[in-house]
Amino acid sequence: MSYGLIYTVPFATLDNIPCVVEIEKDGYEGGSTELTPGVTPFTIDINSEEFLYTPTRFSTAKLQIVGSDYLQSLFSTAYREYRVTLIKDGVITWCGFIKPELYTQDYTSEKFILEIECISSMSVLEFIDYTIEGDSKDFVSLWRLLQRCVSTAIGRYTSVYIPHVYASSKVAYTTGENVLANMTLSEQDFFDEDDKPMKLKEVLEEVCKFLNWTCVDWKGSLYFVDVDHSGVYYKYNAMMTSKADAQINELLVQDIGFAGGNHSLDVLPGFNKVTVKCSNYSVGQMLQEEDFNDLEELSTIDNKTSDNKKACRSVYLYPDAWNCLLYRDGSIIDNSMLSSVKDIAPSLDGAMLMKYCVYEQEKDANGVWQPNIHDYSFINAIRVRFPLKGTPGVFNLINYKVLTFKGASATYMDCALGINATVKVIKDNDMLPWGNSAAGYARNSLRCQIRIGNEYYGNHFGDSFHGFTWAEDPMNFVILNLDSWNNDGKLEWLTLPNDKTLDMPYNGLSGLIVPIDRPISGELEFNLLVYNRQGDGSRGDMTGIIIKDFSVKIQNKDNISKSDNDSDRTYENVLNENYINELDEIEFKMSSYNEDGACYSKVLLDGDYLKDNLYNCILDDAIRPEEMMITRCINHYSATRIKLTQEIKEHADLSPITRLSDTFLVDKKFICTGGTIDCQMNKFECVMIEI
């Protein structure tokens, strides 16, 4: 977006400090017009939520303009159309956007005051969807998430303050490690099961909750506040690429000075029960299944036997979740090109999705062959014609890739895949499923390659005799041996046998079992492979196969209960069970790993699941972020606290990390948690909470 200055609203404070409100319009290239300020030109309201660990504390503003023009052009139709910046004595003091809403103003007077509502730049994130930066969902660091939120807000922030609280170890903390750059999670966590994205503000809130921080926009800067941290903060530039050390400061309200007499003191209640609920976003069905009933038809072909007694209707389908590959004249045709070859696709080598119905026919009284059934039943299948030997596109020696599909990036651990399929081997070139599976020779025709991130399962031979492992070797694959050679030709279908043994802790999982016992991170990809055909009609030369009941499932180990994996994990602390005053439940949508199985919502540290190994300087120890939140809340809310509201002078050195004190409240320290600033009167109705 490119902004041009369209209006200015100059005014001066009570202390005669020059101020100007700049209004910029996206895409504007003309000159600017000066407008007359109202009686109260600019006021800022900072969210004064009483819960100290609220994830965001943003602001709104009101701009007053006097005039005889209704300024309808300022009534924004988009949240980032008009950018508003308050500059005080040459320094940016607030930045945001005009809020699109219904405005009310005087219609009878020649002169009137127009009030324009504004929201801070970071507040606009509430209306912006999270989007992936790559071609597919991947892993993203917490640091990158913060950078994206700040840059997407398009605010004119001058600096970003980050507390130096966490590190991968105590030693790493002393080096100034930016551990947020090494903490990652799957982008799938920001999309629901229907692929609907979170808003960026939700993403920011979840990062802040996980770190127990509060994001505050304040006088042209952004602060990520850790209310329990009294050590160093890093002051970054707006792009968060360079930094300098910054320290918290202390101010006495009597030294700041008062701007009014509207003061009040409240006693906030204590709490003795804190609950943190972690939403486990289970990987579940990690690879999408095709719903054959929802697929669009590509073509329909009717065939019958030479004696007309048997017929077959084959309906070929456009794939959706699975990418089927066809081979033609040295080229590979995928889903995107399928429509261009729809008329000849069934005759090409490779895989196609189809549903077919085989039925008997008999002659009617007039000698016309008619179906002898009325309830047609279709079988959903993958039809694979083996590529002819020498066809370009070979995967590994004699193997060809014919079907592929992917799952979102995640970290997989303490789980296993189960692969199932039922196969009919076809010898004849017409690839029609008339009778039984062809006898012999094709028991080992089906293969697969499974990839997670950079690791592949299997070995170079595809044979279990040599042992299957996960390794960074793209030549690894697995032969899916069927349960019989069908030498006598009596079997209609051959099955991928269930190789699960008694010592495999996956009750209910079947088929070829692919265990994942250590963390493996990345996008999951499944490739179906087949061998080639000679095409010369020689003994044992098969044309292809038809596959039905094909599935790839995931299941956690039996010691990871389904309730732990599919529902929320809860952490809680109660100080006195005889009397419970419970704090509102805190929900985390990103969390540490605690034997939860494969989940998108789990954070990684240096490529491995984050558990209870995140060091923080506040406790000088490693602890789970969820348990750290409980510890903070118990320490703060186990006793009553004071909320102080005072009308003080607006002070340049006052910030969200300032420690405030009052002469009449001995040994009490406060932080500012919101309030209202009248920029012309230089008055701040400051809300402070004891820490």
Inter-axis angle of helices 200-211 and 142-152, nearest 10: 140
Per-residue model confidence (pLDDT) at position 179 = 97
For the CA atoms of 468, 471, 477, 478, the dihedral, rounded to the nearest 10 degrees, stands at 20
* In the predicted structure, residue 44 carries a pLDDT above the cut 90: yes
pLDDT of residue 485: 92
Would you list the DSSP string of 508-575?
Answer: T--SEEEEE-S-EEEEEEEEEEEE-B--S--TT---EEEEEEEEEEEEE-TTS-HHHHHS-EEEEEES
Give 351's contacts (C-beta < 8 A, 6+ positions apart): 324, 325, 326, 382, 383, 384, 402, 403, 528
pLDDT for the residue numbered 286:
55
Residue pLDDT, tens place only, 134-150 = 888 899 999 999 999 99
Per-residue pLDDT of 102-117, as tens digits, reads 555 555 566 778 888 9
495: tokens are: 């099955």
Residue 343 burial (CB count, 10 A)? 9
pLDDT at 480 over 60: yes
pLDDT at 564 exceeding the cut of 60: no
> 313 near 300, Cβ under 8 Å?
yes
What is the mean pLDDT of the segment spanning 54-80?
A: 82
pLDDT score for 629: 94
> Which positions ≥6 away from 171 have C-beta within 8 Å?
none
Q: For residue range 487-519, list pLDDT tens digits in order.
A: 999 999 999 999 988 888 888 889 999 999 888
Give the DSSP letter of residue 438: P
- The number of beta carbons lying within 10 Å of the beta carbon of residue 62 is 16
What letter would DSSP give residue 455? E
Task: Please answer whether residues 105 and 55 qualify as being in contact, where contact means their C-beta atoms are separated by less than 8 angstroms.
Answer: no
Average pLDDT over the chain reads 90
Q: What is the dihedral of CA 248, 249, 250, 256, to 10 degrees?
A: -130
> Would you kindly state where each structural domain of the chain is located, as residue ranges?
3-124, 130-246+593-623, 248-258+645-691, 292-556
Tokens of 572: 């809680």
Instruction: Yes or no: say if 296 and 317 are a contact pair by the CB < 8 Å rule.
Output: yes
Write the pLDDT tens digit of every residue in 376-395: 889 999 999 999 988 888 78
Per the listing, tokens 């370009």 go with 392
pLDDT at 565: 46
300 vs 315: CA distance, rounded Å: 4
Other C-beta atoms lying within 10 Å of the C-beta of residue 320: 16
What's the mean pLDDT in 232-252?
Answer: 95
pLDDT of residue 86: 97
* Residues ≥6 apart with Cβ < 8 Å to 147: 239, 240
Q: Which residue has the tokens 């004249």?
A: 329
- Residue 105: predicted pLDDT: 58
Compute the Cα dihedral for 666, 668, 669, 670 and give only its sign.
Answer: negative
Query: What mean pLDDT is predicted for residues 371-377?
Result: 84
Paired strand residues for 244: 235
